[in-house]
Amino acid sequence: MKRFSVLLAALALPLSASAAQAPGPDWAFMTPDPNAPAPAAANAPAPAAPQPGAPAIVVSGKGAAVPACSSCHGASGVGGPHSANIRGQNADYIVRQMMDFKSGTRRSPLATHGPIAGALTDAEIAAAAKYYDGLSPMRSARIVEAANAPKTMIGRNNQRTKLPGNATEPLGKRIVEFAEASPQAPFVAYVPPGSLAAGKTITGGGKVEECASCHGDGLKGSEDLPRLAGRSPTYIARQLYQFKNGLRKGGYADVMKDIASGLNDDDIIAAAAYVGSLDP
């Protein structure tokens, strides 16, 4: 059976891939602007304080070679456009991804995940997975359909920020997602008008197999397949481009390559926007 596993990416550090490493649009791969200044001390919402019972690997890491999980995903696990939202994600799925990184089956554009996973014991991986699985899911981004978006820049830290002032620019064929102070979600994502309706049709079986057949009702996950609902649309789109271009390996990657190959840029944007809009 075809599996629309858009997000077989559970633990991901910020990306800075070259065009050769990650063919696809700069907005999806968070390619830094060549004129971007040095990153500020913090361009994203501060991670939530660790919940009771957070294991050491989540809070403090394991020496110089292994940063804390919370350094990219936050103790809250929400992550952002540059890293996966693993809050409330199935523990078996997280473990499977880490084991793929550990074995070399799955690689990241920066080739950092393998060494990190290789430095962790199976018990440490299981503890982190159990912790994030135990947190209630949270939406990554508030979705806004618009022809224009605030002017932004992707910095050298691979994070998009809004530029000062109220200037806007045409959105075009992009998803523009950046941090905002909102009770709804820690990020806001601007998507082209009509994306949500088109994405509902695509993911509901209009152009690919219905996603829910594998990812469960409401795309909230099934067995060891990931929860898609409410995750960062930029992140989702990046994974689709990686599948489409054969960069993603591991479980179901060949099936996903076949599915993603049939999606054009408009389809990927629409599917990612719709999935991100769902209640997790």
Please give the sequence-ordered ranges of beta strands (E in DSSP) within 165-279, or none if there are none. Answer: 168-170, 176-179, 187-191
pTM tops 0.75, yes or no: yes
Residue 247: which of 261, 234, 233 has the closest Cα?
261
Residue type, 58: V
- Pair of tokens at residue 81: 């456009």
Q: At what angle do helices 122-133 and 91-103 cross, to 10 degrees?
A: 150
d(CA 142, CA 230): 9
If you average pLDDT over every residue of the chain, what do you get? 84
Q: What are phi and psi of 251, to 5 degrees?
A: -55, 130
Which region among 11-20, 89-98, 258-267 has the lowest average model confidence (pLDDT)?
A: 11-20
pLDDT in tens, 21-74: 447 899 999 999 988 887 555 444 444 555 678 899 998 888 888 888 888 887
> Is 80 exceeded by the pLDDT of residue 191?
yes
